[in-house]
Amino acid sequence: MANRIFSLGLVASVAASPTLLKRDNTTMVYSFKDVPITSNIQYIPCYDKFTCTQLEVPLDYDDLSAGTTNIAFIKHSAPQQPAMGDIIYNPGGPGGSSIGDVPLGLPRIVALLGDSYNIVGMDPRGVNNSGPLLDCFGGKPWLRDYFINKFFFDVDPLSEASFSNYYEMTGAFGTWCTQNLNETAKYVNTPATARDMLQYAELLAESQDKPREEAKVNYYGISYGTVLGTTFAALYPDRVGKFLIDGVVDGNDYYFGNWSQGPQQADAAVESFFTLCAEAGEACAFKGNSSTAEEIKERFDGILEDLEKNPIPVTDPHYVVVPTTVTHMDFRNFLTTSLYRPATVFPILATLAAGLEKRDGRSTASVTGKGIPPTGACDYRPLGYDSTFYRQVIACNDNNHNFEITKESLTELFKYERTQSTYIGDVWSMAVIPQCRNLDISSPASQIFPGYKNVKTSTPILFGGNLIDPATSSYELMSSYFEGSRVLLQDAIGHALISTTSNCTASYVQRYFKTGELPPKDTVCETDFKVFSSALVVEDAGLVTRHSTGRRAVDML
């Protein structure tokens, strides 16, 4: 990362892109195709309440001959201008789209961060609106969706034959994608995205007549966004402004490439479902006649055990459009998702479990998208968003072939993950790593992360997390790399601070962004919301969505 200060003149010389549009900057636009790609920040009104800009950046800041790509930004402006600055936001993934997430998640984001800064969503390289294009299926999204649905979901890791087939299929996927991905895919990785964030901050400073080299990035990253944030802070410690790193991934584990440390607390999160359900009474649809958490656990485990041997057929046309079955992996997939946001999803989990106990799989089939095939070739849609591939390319490039994937090492990894979590270990192991095996792409040396070491950042970093986080609980470890940083915890179950609401958390976070003041050591905030607190009983989770991409990928980081 030697070439930190990128010269604008050089961008301009490679900027003769055919997609460069000349447009007046007052027309409201609703697509990034209508946002000019420029070498400096030029926000134009977009999506009714926002402004958008699209920057042309070098694919490799250390080798300008590699060409350029476009990075998309969407901005929510603080009500009071001038704002205290821009906070770049990343919702996780890898592969999550900030452009999609900022409009959707804005109320939650503002409730946490306050409104003294502009909130800027940036699609990381390769993701959704930002280039370069990652496509293994020649612009035919229905082939991609068919493939994902058929080969990445209907796998039973408990069956040796199914596991072997999965292993070969993931290898085939890598070989296929290596043949079909554009060679620019190697520039899609986390260090390069971190560098793009610096580029944004420098261009913003320039537009405000401030010195480029003093520009700092303000940042809010969740989950995988914590890898991006800590990567930035490790590479550019003197360019760190206010940083909230929420739902903290073990960055060493991520870069090493086996993703083995995520679900350390997942079983604790499932146990809390049993406890909360027992306490909730009627509000928990799965409570039944059980009076203790232990009894509920026994019934719940019984469902999984039965499903492992006896999948449940579903044929009710109100719930599915083709006949299907619900397997233990379908239920484990949903269970994984529910642990991320217990406040809203545990009541649904309780409803599904109550159905499955009676061998009624209709709601589970519907909620998980099983029995709803991807829309077919006649229903043509342009190549859309698919987090699975984005995630794999970014994660695989980042691990840089560190973790050697053989059938034996993968078998070991599955075994190890089951010791981390009996409930979701298998779901976790399948998510990313197997797919890296034959993906023969290598990022340039300048974009390989050199590893974390102790650094002092120009502003202390605020780390955050819940007492029980099913996917990311490495705040102590990561905080230890950044001198002066502080951890703010929330007494909650779920993925990251933002998975629930807390006035206490929000007030510490907002004070930090406004004044730089950190919360006192060992602060643990209460939340405002209790799971199963309202009498919300989900009676019928059945809703057939006919325009579906098929089954939903489980949220990852």
Ligand X SMILES: *[C@@H]1O[C@H](CO)[C@@H](O)[C@H](O)[C@H]1NC(C)=O
Stretch that binds ligand X, among 137-145, 219-227, 248-256, 422-430 (CB under 6 A): 248-256
**Size of residue set near ligand X by CB under 6 A:** 27
In the complex, least distance from residue 517 CB atom to ligand X, rounded to whole angstroms: 20
What are the structure tokens assigned to 520, written together? 């006192």
Q: Establish if 503 lies at the interface with ligand X (CB under 6 A).
A: yes
What phi and psi, each to the nearest 5 degrees, are found at residue 150? -80, -40
Nearer to ligand X, 26 or 65 (CB): 26
Nearer to ligand X, 104 or 158 (CB): 104
Q: Establish if 289 lies at the interface with ligand X (CB under 6 A).
A: yes
- Interaction residues for ligand X, span 524-553 (CB under 6 A): 528
Q: Establish if 388 lies at the interface with ligand X (CB under 6 A).
A: no
- Convert residues 10-49 into a mask of x (bound to ligand X by CB under 6 A) and - (unbound): ---------------xx----xx----------xx-----
In the complex, least distance from residue 16 CB atom to ligand X, rounded to whole angstroms: 12
How far is residue 475's CA from residue 463's CA, in Å, rounded to a whole number?
A: 6
Q: How far is CA 179 from the centre of its chain?
A: 26
- Interaction residues for ligand X, span 115-154 (CB under 6 A): 128-129, 132
412, 483, 517, 540: residue in contact with ligand X (rule CB under 6 A): 412
Q: Give residues with Cβ within 8 angstroms of 525, minimum separation 6.
A: 488, 489, 490, 491, 502, 504, 505, 508
The alpha carbon torsion through 346, 347, 353, 355 (nearest 10 deg) reads -160
How far is residue 160's CA from residue 13's CA, in Å, rounded to a whole number?
A: 56
What phi and psi, each to the nearest 5 degrees, are found at residue 284? -100, 110
Q: Establish if 385 lies at the interface with ligand X (CB under 6 A).
A: yes
Nearer to ligand X, 181 or 240 (CB): 181
How far is residue 300's CA from residue 124's CA, in Å, rounded to a whole number?
A: 39
Stretch that binds ligand X, among 12-20, 226-234, 409-417, 430-438 (CB under 6 A): 409-417
Q: How far is CA 51 from the centre of its chain?
A: 23
Stretch that binds ligand X, among 97-105, 112-120, 341-349, 491-499 (CB under 6 A): 97-105
How far is residue 147's CA from residue 173's CA, in Å, rounded to a whole number?
A: 9
In the complex, least distance from residue 333 CB atom to ligand X, rounded to whole angstroms: 19
Q: Establish if 500 lies at the interface with ligand X (CB under 6 A).
A: no
Q: Report the candidate in 385, 353, 367, 304 with the shortest Cα–Cα distance to residue 134.
A: 385
Contact 534, 523 (CB under 8 A): no
Q: Establish if 416 lies at the interface with ligand X (CB under 6 A).
A: yes
DSSP string, 392-429: HHHHHHHHTT-S---HHHHHHHHHHHHHH-TTTHHHHH
The amino acid present at 410, given as its one-letter code, is L
What are the structure tokens assigned to 111, written together? 């409730």
Nearer to ligand X, 52 or 468 (CB): 52
How far is residue 278's CA from residue 363's CA, in Å, rounded to a whole number?
A: 22
How far is residue 206's CA from residue 200's CA, in Å, rounded to a whole number?
A: 10
DSSP 8-state symbol, 148: I
Nearer to ligand X, 37 or 44 (CB): 44
- Interaction residues for ligand X, span 301-330 (CB under 6 A): none
106, 169, 256, 383: residue in contact with ligand X (rule CB under 6 A): 256
- Convert residues 171-190 into a mask of x (bound to ligand X by CB under 6 A) and - (unbound): -----------x-x------
Stretch that binds ligand X, among 255-263, 342-350, 360-368, 543-551 (CB under 6 A): 255-263
Which residues would be at the binding site for ligand X (CB under 6 A)? 25-26, 31-32, 43-44, 97, 99-100, 128-129, 132, 182, 184, 252-253, 256, 258, 260, 288-289, 385, 412-413, 416, 503, 528
